[in-house]
Amino acid sequence: MRTMLVVTAENPFPQDSGGKLRTGNLLKIVTAHFRTDVLTYRGRGPDTGNPLPNCRFIYVERRPRSGRRLMIRTLYRRMNHSYMSHSDLDFAPHIRELCRSTSYDCVLIAHTLLGAHLRLIRKLLPEALIVTDAHNFETQLTRQLADGQRGLVRKLFFRLNHRFTAREERRIAKTTDQLWVASEDDAELFVAEARAPRHKVSLIPNFLDHDEYEADADAGEPPVTLPTGERRIILPGNMNYFPNVNGALHFHERIYPELKRRVPGIKWYIVGKDCHPSVRRLAENDETIVVTGYVKHIQPYIRQSDVVIVPLLEGGGTRLKILEAWALGVPVVSTSKGAEGLEYEAGRHLLVADEPEPFAEAVATLLSNRRLAGAVAFQARQKLLENYELQAVEGRVLRLLNAHRPEEGRVRTAPNRMNAGEGL
């Protein structure tokens, strides 16, 4: 059996965020075909163990560092400010030890913010196939983050952060053998802005193991019983991720007042870890809003809701929160940006609205018209099974991993549709 090293700063278990779901689901595929070592930080919660075969986890303790020290290192090293980018301080000795003891056939680097690891691994394993999995196009996200800052010093710092990130993603595009992206939009951005050679870029959409969601329903999920008689909408996600924070605030200010007028007795659940103070405050003076904070299992909350809302105005990649709603049979109302990167037909697989009043109307329509809601949920589930289910993506992943390192100049033709082929 061939060998693989996976480097991920975000421990994929428990799978309680979009990034963890993506990395964890990729691991489910590769561990069935590779003897796999996973180098990652130890999770902050209780150890959930290793649920995967042929897989060994090497845990690294995340040493505390002051924000001031990381800011200074960001400026001195001209690197992204995220803790992931600075994980080389903790990971580098382990990477050297692992690569000297095992000549891995493949290496999967689970984020473009881990570029420093890529350069080190290339030196240690010159013959290995190195794959970088881009969860997002971080150049775009850091640009959006910089544009939203207030104050001269913050604006200057985050603009520099954006420039450093853009430079790093260009380096990654040049150095990695394969660059996996979550959406066709991100693929085009990597080619246009990061100067990624098109022959390196391959589309691996976000996906779910649908059988797990069916098993959860059959076995009985952890006991979470929400009050009966509510007409319930839910915004799931990491509530410290700035697109989610800004989306929640936008929905509260511009959409929710009209929705409450249209739908008496409505209840809005905001469910996700690391809740930003500005989001938590929304529930202080409004008893129709429930902010749960971290929950171990988000599926029961989604399953017991009537509509999933995705009021995002920024971000990238594809939205695992939409795929989870599709898997759990709950209809979705989203902005165009929120559904970006997914293949869908508006009105059939989800309802799409970009202005506040049409968004409120779409949610109210699904809450009052259960027949339409059921039809949208059914069609969405079919789309999930066709395009975004583990078995639909597995063959594409394995073909790429079984390929030789790409030859410079060999160009793959971009498919018109996401499921037309593996390369872009």
pLDDT in tens, 253-311: 999 999 999 999 999 999 988 899 999 999 998 999 999 998 888 899 999 999 999 99
Pairing assessment for the beta strands 231-236 and 307-310 based on DSSP bridges: parallel
81 contacts 70 by C-beta, under 8 angstroms: yes
> Between residues 252 and 405, which one has the greater pLDDT?
252
pLDDT in tens, 10-19: 899 888 788 8
What are residue 235's DSSP bridge partners? 270
Contacts of 56 (CB under 8 A, 6+ apart): 36, 37, 38, 50
pLDDT of 415 above 80: no
pLDDT in tens, 182-202: 999 999 999 999 999 999 999
36 contacts 6 by C-beta, under 8 angstroms: yes
Neighbours of 215 (CB within 10 A): 11
- Going by the DSSP 8-state scheme, the letter that residue 113 receives in this structure is G
Longest Cα pair distance anywhere in the chain, in angstroms? 65
pLDDT in tens, 28-58: 999 999 999 999 998 765 555 667 889 999 9
Residue % of the chain over a pLDDT of 90: 72
The domains of the chain, with CATH numbers, are: 2-207+390-420 (3.40.50.2000), 210-387 (3.40.50.2000)
pLDDT of 424 above 50: no
Per-residue pLDDT, 413: 33
26-to-12, 83, 123, 253, 394 alpha-carbon distances in Å: 10, 22, 25, 38, 8
pLDDT of 407 above 80: no
pLDDT in tens, 117-127: 999 999 999 99
pTM over 0.75: yes
